[in-house]
Every structure is written in C-alpha cells, then in structure tokens.
Amino acid sequence: MVDQDQQPAIELRGLTRRFGERAALNNVTVQVPTGTTLAVLGRNGAGKSTLLRILATLLRPHGGEVSVLGERLPQRAHVVRSRVGLLGHEPLLYRDLSGRENLHYHAQLHCVAPERVERLIEAVGMGKRADDPVRALSRGMVQRLAVCRAVLHEPAVLLLDEPRANLDPAAVELIEPLIGSGNGHTRVLTSHDPGAAIEDADLVLGLRDGKAAFVRQPGEVGAQQLRELYG
C-alpha cells in the first residue's frame, strides 16, 4: 500500500507534452511516494515512454509541473540527472566498445569506483563476455549490460521501460536483485504484461491517448479497467 504521508519522490501536476499537433501526454497528474513503484499501463503510443523520458530529463514538458526528488524539471535537470537511472528501449551503450569499456566509461562520468563495475558484471553473469564488443552480443546480453549501466551509480529513482525485454527466465533472476522492489528505489515501470506490472506495483497509472484514464491502487484495477484501457 502507498503511504499517503510520504513526501512524493515524483510529482506531476497537469503534465503535457506535444509532438507537433499531437499531445503525447495531456494534463497528467500523479504523485509517487518515495520508495514505491508506479506501474504505467497503456497501449503502444499511449505516452508511457514519453513519460519516462521526461522524468529522465531527456525531454522537456510543454505544460504543467514536474518534480523529481524535490527538484523542478526542466529547471533543475542537471541535479536530477545524476540521481535517476533509465533502462529504456535503447541500451545507451557504444556498440564498438566492449561491455566492460562501456561501464567503466559511465563509472567515470558518475565518479563510481571501478570495483562496482566488476561486481555488476559478475552479478548479471557477463564475466565471460564482458570484453566482447557490444555489437557482437545477443539482445539479451546487451539488456543485462544496460541494467548494469542503469544502476551503476545507485540512483534513487529507477525508470524501467519494459525492463525484462529480451531476457530468458534465468537472466530475469539475475537482474531482479538489481532492479526489483527490494532495493529501496522509487520505481516507474512499464510492461507488456499488465498483470505482472500490477503485481509489482504500489500504484497504477493507466494512460489512454496521452490522458490519465485512472490512477488506482493495484487491488482496484480489475479486468473491466484493463479492457477499457487496451480496447
């Protein structure tokens, strides 16, 4: 359950973002208390990835108010950027560098000790392939490295866009300790599996055509709400 007395780690008030004439997000309002998980559901094109990119400071809102960890966006994006980790559809890794080289590069950017890179590589089972160029790796292996990159600097907020994509069950077990709910992160996640996302969440935001169709506790999201959202 969400503790309503907690200070929100993420707060959106009337968030709007347009692409040309189309509103990808339209007047979205939600609060995410610290240490909780928000599942964002909706069809392709509903605005899920756009929301995560705004929270990651990669896109600027066109209207409304956005704050992450008490910092307003986009005004304080330079502060927020170092405190969030994004796992998106793109791995954000250089294809001609090895996984190890990529992670050490990001470690230098965030002033992270090299030892953490090596611990993460081992944690996701990439010790034997970490020196191969990223372009030579399978999509599942690249996803494991992207998880390492996202959590490398121990962010307070994790933004997870289909985090288990391209992973077999064994790989999911390896990454779960890094991105799961037991680490104290505030998380915002999307998933192609609404049922699994709801089970993993403390709060659920349903997006339809860029608008908030509902903001509910997981136990309040039933089959009827999902049919209306995806229908």
- Sorted by where each begins, the domain ranges of the chain are 8-230
Q: Are 93 and 75 in contact (CB under 8 A)?
A: no
CATH fold group of domain 8-230:
Rossmann fold (3.40.50)
Q: What is the pLDDT along the chain (231 residues), one digit of tens a residue?
A: 444 456 799 999 999 999 999 999 999 999 999 999 999 999 999 999 999 999 999 999 999 999 999 999 999 999 999 999 999 999 999 999 999 999 999 999 999 999 999 999 999 999 999 999 999 999 999 999 999 999 999 999 999 999 999 999 999 999 999 999 878 899 999 998 999 999 999 999 999 999 999 999 999 999 999 999 998
Per residue in 138-185, pLDDT tens?
999 999 999 999 999 999 999 999 999 999 999 999 999 999 987 889
3-state secondary structure of 169: helix
Q: At what angle do helices 169-179 and 114-123 cross, to 10 degrees?
A: 140
Which pTM does this prediction carry? 0.94
Q: Classify residue 200 by burial, with Cβ atoms within 10 Å: 0-12, 13-18, 19+.
A: middle
Contact by Cβ (8 Å): 120, 178: yes
